[in-house]
Amino acid sequence: MPQADAKPGFSRTLVRWFSSNAKNYPWRNTQDPWAILVSEVMLQQTTIPTVLARYEPWMRLFPTPAALAAADEQFALRSWEGLGYYRRVRSLQATARAIVQKHSGVFPSDETSLRALPGIGEYTAAAVLSFAYNKPAALVDANVARVLARIYNDPTPIDSTAGRRTLRERAELLLHRSNPRAYNSALMELGQTICTPTNPLCSSCPVRRFCDASSPSSLPVKKNKMKPTDLRHWDIWLLTDLGLLLEKQPDDSRHGGMFRLPQRPCSTVSSLPLICSQKYSVTRFKVTRFLHRAPADFPVLSSETFIPLSLLPSLPLASPDRKLILRLLPQSSSEGTPASP
C-alpha cells in the first residue's frame, strides 16, 4: 500500500468532527465488552431504530454473559423476537457459555482469546477491542467500505478478494492509533449520516478535502448484487380445544428452536378455505404466505404440536407468525414481552 494513500490528517479531522456530532447511542456510553458485543451483534443485521428500541430492555434481561449462559434457549429466542436473524441469539448464547466455562465469566481482552470464542469473527473481535478496550483494531463494515471506496475513488468491487484486501489495508493505514474507539465510531457515523449510499452530503462532509471520489453515488462497486427472490408458501390454521397447531423448527435451520404455523404443499391445502394471505420480507426473499383453515381431523406431522393459547406469549415465534396469530386471535394473550427468567 503506497504511503501516499495514508491521507495525513484524515483520522484527526474525522475524530474532531465526531466529538461535536456524535449521536448518543446507549452502546456508546459503556465500555463493558459484553454490552458492546450485544450491540454489535444486534446492529449487524437490524436497523439502528429497531435496535435502539430493544437494546436496553434486552440488556436488563441479560446484563452479563452468565445471565444469558444460564437462560433457557426458548426464553432467549423469545427475547430476540422482532430483531430477526434468530441464529444470532443462539450464537450469542454459545459465546456467553464459553466465556463462563473457559474464562470464569470474565470477558477476554486479547484478540486471540476473543477469536477463539464461538460466534466471534474478525469484525466482531475488532469492534470489541476498539470500543471496549480502545485497542487499535481497524473495522470494515458496509458503511466503512463505502466511505473508503469513495475517498480513494476505487472501483474495485468491495466484495472481491482484491477489494476486501485493499479495504483492510486502507482501514489499517487510516486508523487513529491513539483513539481507535472514537475513530471507528466516527467512520461508521460518517457512512450512516453523510456519506450515505444514495445522495451523499458531500458539501457538508468533514473529510471532503481528503476525498478523491469523482462520482460518489456510483461507488462502491459490488460484484454480486443479490436480487430479491419471490417465495410463496401455504400454511394451515388448525385451532382445537388443545390449542393452536404449530411446528417447531429443526435446530440446524435458520429459525432453529422457534415455532411457526405448519406448512403444507399447495396441492394439499388448495381445497381448504383460504383465511388470508400475508406478505413479508426475510433476508433477500419476498414472501407471500397463504393461510388455509384445516379441519379438526387434518393429518398432523410428528414435528407439529398443539400449543395451548395461554403458552403463546412465552413461546418463541417468528415475527410474521406472531403478527398473523395476533390478528386471528384478537382476544388471546399471545402478545407481550418475556418476563424475567
Residues forming contacts to ligand SF4 in the complex (CB under 6 A) are 147, 150-151, 194-195, 200-202, 205, 207-208, 211, 213, 216
Distance CA 80, CA 82 (A): 6
Catalytic residue among 40, 189, 247, 304: 40
Distance CA 144, CA 320 (A): 32
Name which of 14 and 41 has its Cβ closer to ligand SF4: 14
First to last CA, the chain: 52
Question: 201: helix, coil or strand?
Answer: coil
- How crowded is residue 294: how many other Cβ atoms within 10 Å of its Cβ? 22
Least Å from the CB of residue 17 to ligand SF4 = 11
Least Å from the CB of residue 212 to ligand SF4 = 8
Least Å from the CB of residue 45 to ligand SF4 = 24
Name which of 132 and 205 has its Cβ closer to ligand SF4: 205
Least Å from the CB of residue 181 to ligand SF4 = 21
Name which of 192 and 314 has its Cβ closer to ligand SF4: 192
- Spatial CB neighbours of 335, under 8 Å, sequence gap ≥ 6: 313, 322, 326
| Known active-site residue 247 | no
Closest CA to 47 of 83, 22, 89, 92: 83
Name which of 65 and 200 has its Cβ closer to ligand SF4: 200
Give Cα separations from 93 to 27, 34, 52, 53, 232 (angstroms): 19, 12, 21, 21, 32
Helix axes 33-45, 122-133, angle to 10 degrees: 140
Cβ-in-10-Å burial (0-12, 13-18, 19+) of 72 comes to: exposed
Name which of 128 and 175 has its Cβ closer to ligand SF4: 175
User: Rounded to an integer, what is the distance from CA 161 to the centroid of its chain?
Assistant: 24
Strand partners of residue 260: 247
CA dihedral sign of residues 147, 164, 219, 208: positive
Least Å from the CB of residue 208 to ligand SF4 = 4
Name which of 22 and 201 has its Cβ closer to ligand SF4: 201
Q: Which three cell numbers stand for residue 229?
A: 427472490
Name which of 36 and 188 has its Cβ closer to ligand SF4: 188
Tell me, letter by letter, the H, E, C secondary structure of 110-131: CHHHHHCCCCCCHHHHHHHHHH
Least Å from the CB of residue 153 to ligand SF4 = 9
Say if CB 51 and CB 43 are below 8 A apart: yes
Say if CB 92 and CB 42 are below 8 A apart: no
Rg (CA), the chain: 23
- How crowded is residue 290: how many other Cβ atoms within 10 Å of its Cβ? 18
Least Å from the CB of residue 280 to ligand SF4 = 33
Catalytic annotation, residues: 40
